[in-house]
């Protein structure tokens, strides 16, 4: 028993701590290698930067010294923060403001061109978030059950067409009727009548210089009334042509009633 105990004591390793110590030294060495690699200076890049700044300072107006500027390669490299010279936010705001001004100016010009009809209540000019709405009573433009523009209406719409031709906004011309049915050879229903009336207005605008690509003609028949068809006044209000000048994504829209 005594002999076995002495044999075990002879084989016991008292230097096992060297393994942990060696691992620690290895990790410490790796840490300092990484730190040195991060902090090392790229002399080539500093030389290029030094030459560029020296050339820039030599060309400063009013500096006639001609002395070279020396940059310490061991100094920390300055961080360049890019500046947004274009300032897209300001440009967007300016563009939106300009668009709103164009809409307001166009609304005033249209109201002025149709002033007698606006005063009589047969034309309504409204500026809103969508753009400009010009609602014209059908009796101003067409005879009952017809889609041929009246001569007086032609003169009024020509003035409006010249105003629209100077802009670039999309234009939708809508034809609307009351709920009284129509069944003629030319117009089997109110759909054909409303569509033809809208097309007649679009054709006149094209003849007065409005780009056809900006124009859309659509007929809604009696499907979008703005008044009650139960009364004569309501049916007269529903028989109309609406000209929509659409502002594209206006910012901070403000609804303004321009004409009654």
DSSP 108-122: HHHHHHTHHHHHTTS
> Confidence band (pLDDT; 50, 70, 90) for 66?
very low
Whether the pLDDT of residue 212 is over 70: the answer is yes
Which CATH number is 92-257 given? 3.30.1330.60
pLDDT at position 257: 41
Between 247 and 136, where is the model more confident?
136
Span 117-159, pLDDT tens digits = 999 899 999 988 789 999 999 999 999 999 999 988 898 899 9
Does 110 score more than 60 pLDDT? yes
Q: Is the pTM of this model over 0.75?
A: no
How high is the pLDDT of residue 157? 93
Instruction: Please state, in angstroms and as integers, the Cα–Cα distance from residue 247 to each residue in 5, 104, 177, following that order.
Output: 100, 11, 26
Predicted local distance difference test score (pLDDT) of residue 250: 40
Worst-scoring range by mean pLDDT, 6-10, 29-33, 203-207?
6-10
Q: What pLDDT score was predicted for residue 252?
A: 39
Band of the pLDDT at 7, cuts 50, 70, 90?
low
Tell how far CA 38 is from the center of its chain.
45
**Alpha carbon distances (Å) from 175 to 11, 133, 249:** 108, 13, 24
Smallest Cα–Cα separation from 201: which of 246, 151, 149, 244?
Answer: 149
pLDDT: which is higher, 132 or 84 = 132
> What ranges do the domains of the chain cover?
2-58, 92-257
Reading the block at residue 181, the tokens are: 């049915």
DSSP string, 152-175: HHHHHHHHHHHHHHTS---EEEEE
């Amino acid at each position: 028993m005594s002999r076995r105990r002495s044999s075990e004591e002879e084989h016991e390793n008292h230097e096992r701590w060297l393994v942990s110590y060696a691992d620690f030294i290895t990790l410490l060495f790796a840490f300092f290698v990484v730190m040195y690699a991060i902090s090392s200076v790229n002399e080539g890049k500093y030389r290029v930067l030094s030459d560029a700044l020296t050339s820039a300072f030599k060309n400063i107006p009013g500096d006639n010294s001609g002395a070279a500027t020396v940059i310490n390669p061991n100094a920390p490299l300055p961080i360049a923060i890019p500046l947004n010279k274009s300032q897209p936010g300001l440009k967007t705001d300016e563009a939106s403001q300009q668009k709103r001004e164009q809409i307001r100016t166009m609304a005033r010009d249209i109201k002025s061109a149709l002033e007698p009809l606006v005063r009589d209540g047969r034309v309504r000019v409204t500026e809103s978030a969508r753009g400009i709405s010009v609602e014209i009573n059908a009796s101003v433009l067409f005879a009952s059950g017809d889609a041929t523009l009246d001569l007086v209406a032609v003169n009024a719409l020509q003035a409006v067409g010249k105003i629209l031709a100077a802009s670039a906004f999309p234009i939708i011309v809508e034809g609307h009727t009351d709920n009284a049915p129509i069944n003629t050879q030319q117009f089997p229903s109110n759909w054909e009548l409303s569509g033809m009336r809208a097309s007649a207005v679009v054709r006149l605008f094209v003849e007065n210089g409005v780009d056809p690509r900006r124009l859309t003609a659509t007929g809604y028949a009696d499907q979008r009334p703005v008044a009650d068809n139960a009364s004569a006044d309501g049916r007269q209000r529903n028989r109309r042509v609406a000209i929509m000048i659409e502002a594209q994504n206006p910012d901070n829209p403000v609804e303004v009633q321009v004409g009654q």
